Amino acid sequence: MPKHIVRLIVLLVASGAIALIAKWFFTVESFYEYGHYRADSVPEIAAQEPVYKTARYCQSCHSERHAQWSANNHKSVTCETCHGAAEGHPEKGKLPIPADTVKLCTLCHEAMPGRPGTQPQIQVAQHSGGQQCKVCHNPHAPKIAAAAIKVTGDVAAGRQRAAACASCHGAEGISPNDTWPNLAGQSAAYLARILAAYKSGDQKDVVMTPMAQPLSDADIRNLATYYASLTCRTIPSTTRIGDAAAGKALAKNCASCHGATGISSNPAWPHLAGQKAGYLVNVLKAFRGGLRKDPTMAAVVRGLSDADIDNLAAYYAAQSCQPITEARKTP
């Protein structure tokens, strides 16, 4: 073989060998361990820390909220879906949901073509009049207990049974003092719901609990129908508390359920117009303190001060309850 060809072959073999050695030397250890890739990159990727910590992480501190949430309609929506990723919480600060709840809630609940029919959806413009969702809905228990059941009972039987109630609530359902509520003209569905709650123990009161316990379901229906049939009267309160004008501004937050002047649009919710101010104050404080339990009301009253409560009570007590009875009579 000619000398120059031999040299060329030697050169080629030598550079090939050098290339192979260089490849072997420069390829990281784990490269062919499982295939044509760097095996070490897998544990590197797996080592990244999760940012979303799951509801179990939240539960370790917020067990009460967790219990309420997991028992209600939003249980499929995890904490971090609304509150955001829990990474860095609580060290780096609180995790409130965005202040603009309309923007947040309508992400899922704005009526939109393409959303499945099973998804609860609202026409945003008509639903709340620009109110924040949180005003009425507790995000952890969003459903408002408002399934108004039609209550029909016997007025005469109710009148008989009501004799026992008259000493506190008045013979005609108009209470003689400021602490006990007027019942005349109140909606029957609401009265029946509350009486049933006293009977079952869901709602407790030293006086009302023993009164309600012996009532049968028929008694409750009859009583509710009887009081609803009475005509309400607004009696100017003797004790003056709060500032009705300031209460009016606050009452905007209540209007979507209880009506602008305290005349509720839905029979499941009570009328407040012309109600006793002292009674309203007590009830609002009971909601705030958790003595009376209602997820919606609990969310609404959470931010109210004592003065706010006085003002609201003064406002509703000063409203006339008459328009409803008239409105109801005209078809």
Q: Please tell me the distance from the alpha carbon of residue 306 to that of residue 50, in angstroms, as a whole number.
A: 43
Residues within window 18-77 making contact with another protein, judged by CB under 8 A:
25, 29-31, 33-39, 41-52, 54, 74, 76-77
Q: Assign 44 to helix, strand or coil.
A: helix
The single residue among 59, 78, 128, 266 that binds another protein, judged by CB under 8 A, is: 78
Q: State the nearest-atom distance from the C-beta of 257 to another protein, in Å.
A: 25
Q: State the nearest-atom distance from the C-beta of 25 to another protein, in Å.
A: 7
Residue number, 55 or 250, with CB nearest to another protein: 55
Q: To 10 degrees, what angle do helices 217-229 and 188-200 make? A: 150
Residue 119 binds another protein, judged by CB under 8 A:
yes
Residue number, 74 or 199, with CB nearest to another protein: 74
Q: What are phi and psi of 93, to 5 degrees?
A: 135, 180
Smallest CA-to-CA distance from 316 within 265, 269, 248 is with 248
Q: Please tell me the distance from the alpha carbon of residue 215 to that of residue 162, in angstroms, as a whole number.
A: 11
Residue 155 binds another protein, judged by CB under 8 A:
no
Smallest CA-to-CA distance from 307 within 263, 218, 246 is with 246
The single residue among 59, 81, 132, 234 that binds another protein, judged by CB under 8 A, is: 81
Q: State the nearest-atom distance from the C-beta of 87 to another protein, in Å.
A: 8
The single residue among 22, 85, 207, 245 that binds another protein, judged by CB under 8 A, is: 85
> Cα 306 from chain centroid?
22
Residue number, 26 or 238, with CB nearest to another protein: 26
> What does the DSSP assignment read for 164-233?
GTHHHH-TTS--SSSSSPP-TT--HHHHHHHHHHHHHTSS--TTHHHHHTT--HHHHHHHHHHHHHSPP-
Q: State the nearest-atom distance from the C-beta of 146 to another protein, in Å.
A: 22
Q: State the nearest-atom distance from the C-beta of 172 to another protein, in Å.
A: 50
The binding track of 86-115 with respect to another protein, each residue x by CB under 8 A or -, is: ---------------------xx-xxxxxx
Q: Please tell me the distance from the alpha carbon of residue 235 to that of residue 96, in angstroms, as a whole number.
A: 43
Q: State the nearest-atom distance from the C-beta of 34 to another protein, in Å.
A: 7
Residue number, 113 or 129, with CB nearest to another protein: 113
Cβ-Cβ contacts under 8 Å for 154 (sequence gap 6 or more): 221, 222, 225
Residue number, 54 or 177, with CB nearest to another protein: 54
Residue number, 38 or 159, with CB nearest to another protein: 38
Q: To 10 degrees, what angle do helices 306-318 and 277-289 make? A: 140
Pull the structure tokens for residue 63: 């067990």
Residue number, 27 or 152, with CB nearest to another protein: 27
User: Which spans of this chain sit near another protein (rule: CB under 8 A)?
Assistant: 25, 29-31, 33-39, 41-52, 54, 74, 76-78, 80-81, 84-85, 107-108, 110-116, 119
